Structure 1
Amino acid sequence: MTTRNHLTTAQIDHYRSGLASAEQAAQIEMHLKDCPQCQHDLQFGRRVSALLAPLPQLAARMPRRHARAVRWPRVFAAGMATASLALAVFISVPHFSPSGGYPNNLSPQVADAVQNIEFYQWLSNHPQMLQQGLQNGNPA
């Protein structure tokens, strides 16, 4: 390792944590003697580790948050709001005609899609058939 080839952050952290083998540690130490940039990176890693060291102890001292108890009035109010919304939607939806159960103001394309829904479902599960039809000049 020369000063032209700097150590990676992973190599420095591996060395700093004591996980490097004796041979790797010797090579890294030789490189660190000649490379001020890698020495700076090593010192920076040590400072960051020292600053982060107290975090687990601080986290252990933080008060635990307890689960909130269920407040039945809020649950009841949410249920009533949902039921009211469902009732409003049911009342405001236009009524369907008795013949076929479809609204009277459907466009011909929508009416065709509704009448042939099984075909379109089958076609969505078999897209290769649509591609073959388009290649053969059949748009349908």
Structure 2
Amino acid sequence: MDPALFLQAAILSAISAVIYIIIGILPGTDETATMAPIALALLMAGLNPVLVLAWFMGSIVAFKIGDAVPVALAGIPGGVMAVPQVPDALVAKEHGLADVLLRKGNAAALISATIVTLFVLGVSIALMPVGAWLNTYDLVLG
């Protein structure tokens, strides 16, 4: 990978992480309504797909970490995917363990992000040989 591309990807993922941690803390915000349109706009603007992937991965990790804050501290789901965590968060809050729940949730999000990054890179490397075939024109639509 080109060092300039790597630097751009790191900068974009850091910017998206800051933006989406703030958005993720707000209860009621949804991933689909906030992340997908921006990722599509970046693709349509002609940005390198590797950079859009870095933007998207940074934003999804930050969003999931941000989702954990209102659940752990107040028992309010930050998004749809955080709803199953509410009963456990309320029990932890009753026992004074909201901070432990928040730390463990954020650590789990970071570990899962590392695992999924390695998985995505492995799948993309495995799909490289069929890239030319996948990139051909459609015979029906031209």
Question: For the superposition of Structure 1 and Structure 2, which TM-score range results when normalised by the shorter chain?
Answer: under 0.3
Q: Give the TM-score of the pair, scaled to structure 1.
A: 0.24
Q: Give the TM-score of the pair, scaled to structure 2.
A: 0.24
Q: Which has the higher helix share?
A: 2
Structure with bigger gyration radius: 1
